[in-house]
Structure 1
Amino acid sequence: MDRRKFLQRSIEAVAGALIVPSAPAVAKDSAAVVASAPSFARLDATSQAELVAKGEVTPSELLEDAIRRIETLNPKINALVLSLFDQARTAARGPLPDGPFKGVPYAIKDEFDLKGTRRTAGSRLLANNISTETSPIVARSIAAGFLVLGKTNMPEFGLNATTESIFLGACRNPWNLEHSSGGSSGGTAAAVASGMLPIASAADGGGSIRIPASCCGVFGFKPSRGRMVGSGDDPGQIGVDHAISRSVRDSAILFAWNERHDANARLPAIGLISSPSSARRTIGLSTKDVHGLEPTAPVKAEIERTAQHCRTLGHRVEEATLPVDGHELMRNFIALWGHEGDRIVSLAKSMGVRPHGVLEPWTLYLSKHFGSQPSQAMPAALGYFAELSRRFDDFF
């Protein structure tokens, strides 16, 4: 059997257990790409790295395959907004770090710095901004062996739950091009869901990993504050850096790789959980949101089905009420969000730029809203989230 046939059969053998349920709405455009031999679109990052480790494929082959898919699909989806293909090609020729994702193509969200490349955070204000350093989480991910081939789309400064900034343009949902990909990590979710990449970087403050992962049918979760490299645990630092992936195991492996192990880390490292635990847990179940509202019937049924599955595994599942008032939570959350908008307006002024000429209406509204609040709104919000953290510590 020649090498090309061997690769194709290897991909087919593992693909079924690793991919999203069916092809997205761009299937007609992607069919030729997926059918090309070999194509790695249906493999998760772990499987791709295993092929590299065994010498069955080179990082350059993985990279070129991903670039072909991006060039075919991205014009309609607009998930990637900066191409770093030549830089990635140079890196692919090695040597590469001997990490868990050696030779796997990867993209980073446009809010992160990569030295010598453009970082706009989705805003016209930073249209010509070139990073002079690399974000800690990006450096750590590169050390995992990833080949960074570009940056993914996001709304202005990550302040919105949908990805359609004036500067970078709308990111389309690959399942239906007329639908939102969510936000703020919408470009990442769309790139992963469409098969451009198996995994890409993301960040989450108020849902910016979880919302687009849900919209695009891929996997994403927000790690605890202070747990990941580059993440603080101050009450005002609500954003946490991680990723969106098509397989749970990719997320788990990268989570373990990017955990903090420094002396100042507040939380002990969890490490990689690679097999079921014999421990049995007490799991709190609530189908209501923080405002006491129930989800739609299909969503509620799925939550309850998951709870029943946990019971069959031997866990104890109890009805629980979260220790939070939804209105109080949102009032203080908007204070933090408004402060961020105000900070961005101040940044524009410090750069000698008229805010209304470069910033989007939502950013300007957040700043205006913050300016209408009492002077103690921000200290009160920080105090509230510190107290909320203590409540949840007691709850669990």
Structure 2
Amino acid sequence: MAGVSLKCGDCGALLRSVEEAQEHAELTTHTNFSESTEAVLNLVCTTCGKPCRSKTGLLSVKPVNASHFLGFRPNIISYVSLINLIMKSSTLILASWSQLVIEMVVPEVDKKLLEELEAMGFPVARATRALHYSGNASIEAAINWVVEHENDSDIDQIPLVPVNTKVEAPKPSLTPEELKAKQQELRYISHFLYSRISSIFFIFISLFLQERIRVGKELLEAKRIEEENERKRIVALRKAEKEEEKRAREKIRQKLEEDKAERRRKLGLPPEDSSSVKHSSPVVEEKKSSLPIRPATKAEQMRECLRALKQNHKDDDAKVKRAFQTLLTFAGNVVKNPDEEKFRKIRLSNQSFQERVGALRGGIEFLELCGFEKIEGGEFLFLARDKVDIAVLNSAGAELDSAIRNPFFGVL
């Protein structure tokens, strides 16, 4: 009967034409092809509809891509399903390999010698092991083997040997064709597992990158909100400064008017007619500038810190003035002796420091604006030599001097 197909002698796959045989050879590196009278079957996979030419040809067809076989797309796949699929595939491989394991049986020994050893009081397992490893030579050889190996941990265990103990020509449990088909099946199952694991890896990478992008966006949004809040705080701070200056000017004006009235009274002059007094021109509201708001300088932050310190302790002017003078002393000592560590290190638990500065709200914050940092668990305030900024310390001194000399500083 004339051949109707080409058969691969290595895996048994049936192929329709020479072109298919060449493609199969490139895929599997098989080269043993012959004509066959077997018809090529038209098998179809019930899961994905993939056609196949023979039952063994299922193993010779190039595996489909991971997304087609598993039927998923990124970000939709169930990881539990993937893990279950890998576990099932691994179980299939173990089951296939278990069929290739050589069967082990109890070795055959001389029954007469075995009975004699049992009559002498040796257990069956020990007697069988001794006869097997002594070569069933004699009773004396078996007893000598027992004496030499009586301390072995497995002396009383039945020995097991392969079904065929001939080393030169072992008899396989499978025929050569079945063994080749089983090996081919295991190769493609391994390829299948590799492709599945690769798919999972790329999905995890994709999810990781998406998470990085999301976190980056959140950080940018948080930074934008922080900058917006800082801008609003600076605007409110400048508004408060303008209002404070306006109130201070009004108090000065009232004081001048009172002094003027007092002088007229002492000179015996009549009080000044209020209708003739030129009223101060109304304050024109400043137009809002469209220019970007300038960020607060270090000096402005120091001024606000001193103003807050005075407001928090406005009932005790002497204590506030003493705190200002102490802070001025600290800043002046560092400017005059920047290399002396004793002027750049302050113990927070010092009683004198606590009474003058530490116990007042805003004192330590002012020193931190000058460059001091808390060290050793917050026990000391320390200004590192490389962080000494003379310009900042001079600005701090100017603000402290203004706070000490200006009677309207921080007045509401």
| TM-score category (smaller protein) | under 0.3
Going by fraction, where is helix more abundant, 1 or 2? Answer: 2
Going by fraction, where is strand more abundant, 1 or 2? Answer: 1
What is the TM-score normalised by the length of structure 2? 0.17
What is the TM-score normalised by the length of structure 1? 0.17
Q: Determine which structure has more spread, i.e. the larger CA radius of gyration.
A: 2
Which of the pair has the greater relative contact order for Cα pairs under 8 Å at 6+ separation? Answer: 1
